[in-house]
Amino acid sequence: MQAEGPFLFSPGRLEEGLKPGAPSQLAMSRSGDRTSTFDPSHSDNLLHGLNLLWRKQLFCDVTLTAQGQQFHCHKAVLASCSQYFRSLFSSHPPLGGGVGGQDGLGAPKDQQQPPQQQQPSQQQQPPPQEEPGTPSSSPDDKLLTSPRAINNLVLQGCSSIGLRLVLEYLYTANVTLSLDTVEEVLSVSKILHIPQVTKLCVQFLNDQISVQNYKQVCKIAALHGLEE
């Protein structure tokens, strides 16, 4: 739960969570009077900063619900890793107003209606309205109990455990798998189109297969259409 009361943001608050490490070697290249530098630690610092924001529930702009459990996240992080969310979020204009508190999708009501009057020279009809959440490139909208709720999404077919572990991966690049949870993680990764997590699950199953769990692993692989 986010702490009540005003929050005064300062860079120092974020730096509290940045673990000090060995200084990275900057890659530098020169061309005439210009010097280009590359900091290899920047991506790690960025991921750690996003994870810190997620843990503190700062600047979250979408809430995912699975099996009644809510997860507050950042659309940019979800869209950068999931084809499902990338298609869903990019197919609709942003909401006009606050974040997270509105269930409607698109502009406010006073902006949703087409103008009542048009110039005589403009005879074009407004483009046909597509059902929200059903662009041609989007996955099945049956995942959502309410396709219009762009800031509050209830995901059908996703377990809360599987979703939590997938989100852990998105924000940390780490995921903890076991034979008890791998099927749930695999299911969520395939539903939300996150191939990196799917590959990790396949690798885990290949590494863990044994005489004792052979039937269980084969059942999971067959259920999710794995051929590797």
Contact assessment for residue 91 and residue 75, using Cβ atoms and an 8 Å cutoff? no
* pTM across the whole model: 0.65
Whether 50 is covered by a domain: the verdict is yes
Whether 148 is covered by a domain: the verdict is yes
| Residue 81 pLDDT | 96
DSSP 8-state assignment for residue 155: B
Whether 54 is covered by a domain: the verdict is yes
| Residue 25 pLDDT class (50, 70, 90 cuts) | confident
Residue 69 identity: Q
3-state DSSP assignment of residue 63 = strand
Whether 156 is covered by a domain: the verdict is yes
Residue 43: pLDDT over 50 = yes
Whether 157 is covered by a domain: the verdict is yes
Whether 86 is covered by a domain: the verdict is yes
| Residue 128 pLDDT class (50, 70, 90 cuts) | low
Residue 142 structural domain: 40-106+131-223
Whether 57 is covered by a domain: the verdict is yes
Q: Which CATH number do you get for residue 184?
A: 3.30.710.10
| Residue 107 pLDDT class (50, 70, 90 cuts) | very low
